[in-house]
Chain A
Amino acid sequence: MKLAPLMAVLAVLLAACGEKPQALGAVSKDEAAYKGTGKAFVALGWKQGDRMSWESQLKARMQRGQNDYERMN
C-alpha cells in the first residue's frame, strides 16, 4: 500500500540520475552543394537544386578555366 508513493518518490529522485545523450559526432545535415545557395549570386548556366546541371557546370568550368590545351587549340 505504501509502496506506490515510495516508488513515485524514487522515480522522481532517480530521474535526475539519467544522462542526456552526449554523443558528439559528425553532422549529417550538411546541405549538398548542388542544392545551391538560393541566392542570385551564383555562377550562371546551371539550375540550383539540379544535380546533373551542377555537375556539368563544374566540369565545363574546369575545362574552360583550367585546361589551357583545350582553350588554346
Chain B
Amino acid sequence: MARMKFICDAERCIECNGCVTACKNEHEVPWGVNRRRVVTLNDGVPGERSISVACMHCSDAPCMAVCPVNCFYRTDEGVVLHDKDVCIGCGYCSYACPFGAPQFPSQGTFGVRGKMDKCTFCAGGPEANGSQAEFEKYGRNRLAEGKLPICAEMCSTKALIAGDGDVVADILRNRVLNRGKGAEVWGWGTAYGSKQAGQPGVAAPAGVKS
C-alpha cells in the first residue's frame, strides 16, 4: 500500500462544513479546537473556491522537524501522529505547519497552552488500538476498524478524498479527465511534493496541477 493522503477537490467542495462537524463529533473534540476546517478563497467573488483543510500528513513534515521533544512519529502508512504524553505544548509545530493544523486547547490555568491536538487521519495514537485511553486523547481509531477517515467518508459531494495515495490520485485524475477542468489541488505540492531538506519533489498525479 502506498502512503495515506488527503486531497480536497475544490471543484466539488460546497463549504457545507460536514467534514468539520463529522470530525468534531467522531472524536469528541473539545470547544475551541478544530482539527479540520473549511477555508474559502476569494470569498464573495465570482469563481470563489472552498477547500477543507487539516493536517495533510506531509511526506517531509515540518512539525516533526521542529519539535524540540521529538513527540511526532510516522506510521508505516505515512500517517503523522504525535504522543501527547511527550508534547510540552510549546507551539513550535503550529508556527512550522503550512496548513495551520496543530491546535491547542485554551482552557488551561492562566491561559496556558495545553497539549497539541491535530488530525490523526482517524488513526488514534500510541495507546492500544481502540482503547479508552486512546479515544480520550486522540479520538477514534477508524483505520484499525478497517474504515477511512470520517471527514472523507461523510463528505456529501465527495470533494474530500482520503486513503491510499495511488487510489486517491486515480480517483481525482478520472474526475479531471471527465469534467475537463479543476486540476488544481491546493496543498498537494506543499504536503507531498516536498523539495524541502534537499529531497526530490514528488510529481502530482498526471494531468493534475499542484
A: residues with CB less than 8 A from B are 24-39, 41-43, 45-46, 54-55, 57-59, 61-63, 65-69
Contact = CB atoms under 8 A, between A and B. Distances in A.
Nearest to A41: B145
A31 B163 contact: no
A32 B124 CA distance: 11
Nearest to A63: B167
B129 A42 contact: no
Interface string B138-169: 00010111111000110000100111100110
Contact of A61 (B1, B76, B77, B148): B148
A49 B174 CA distance: 33
Interface residues of B, number: 39
Given A30-B126, A36-B146, A43-B147, A62 B174 contact: no
Contact of B141 (A28, A33, A67): A33
Given A46-B146, A61-B147, A63-B167, 8 more contacts: A32-B76, A36-B129, A42-B147, A55-B1, A58-B143, A58-B164, A69-B174, A69-B175
B71 interface: yes
A59 B146 CA distance: 10
A38 B164 contact: no
A58 B123 contact: no
A51 to B, nearest CB: 9
Contacts of B109: none
Given A26-B70, A36-B129, A62 B146 contact: no
Nearest to A24: B69
B183 to A, nearest CB: 16
A62 B155 CA distance: 13
Contacts of A61: 146-148, 163
B39 interface: no
Contacts of B86: 24-27
A69 B178 contact: yes
Nearest to B83: A27
B129 A58 contact: no
